[in-house]
Amino acid sequence: MSTSQDFDFLIGRWKIRHRRLKQRLLDCQDWDEFDGECRMWPLLNGLGNIDDNVLQLPDGPYRALSMRTFDPATGQWAIWWVDGRNPHRLDPPVVGGFEGGVGEFQCDDELRGQPIRVRYMWTDTTTGSPRWQQAFSPDGGATWETNWVMDFERLAEAG
């Protein structure tokens, strides 16, 4: 069962190693690898949090944010992603929760005009190296293509 403390493991500053498919749902096997950083802090008296990200893409850096809110009535989280290169677009939220230390969150979206299912997975949240993965499904969740992996390493807080 999810609680409002599920994402407390992410509070603070992180170095991130990104691995992202160059093309999604096109049988691509080529990955971009790049670094990034993020800082996460709680909001809404613990019912929400936000993180500020710097992604060092091969073609230049950009900023983005994740915003998460917890609904105590349903026991579920909603997560939104805002890409700083397109700050007026708010992606549909993935919704879900944690069970056995693994977080799974899903939503319906579109890619190249086609409906897809989006899944975020959080694993290794009780270690010093949590992992986030994004996968897309073109067939309603029957099959998944993992297209982005982020490995986190905690950084010391600035004095």
pLDDT of residue 158: 66
In a domain, 1, yes or no: no
Residue-wise burial string across 123-154, b where 16 or more C-beta atoms lie within 10 A, e elsewhere: eebeeeebebbbbbbbeeeeebbebbbbbbee
- Helix or strand or coil: residue 58? coil
pLDDT of residue 159: 58
In a domain, 3, yes or no: no
Q: Confidence band (pLDDT; 50, 70, 90) for 156?
A: confident
Asked if residue 157 has pLDDT above 80, the reply is no
How many structural domains comprise the chain?
1
In a domain, 159, yes or no: no
Asked if residue 23 has pLDDT above 80, the reply is yes
In a domain, 156, yes or no: no
The CATH number of residue 132's host domain is 2.40.128.20
Helices (H) and strands (E) in the chain, counts: 0, 10
- Residue 72 structural domain: 8-151
pTM beyond cutoff 0.85: yes
The pLDDT of 132-140, averaged and rounded, is 98
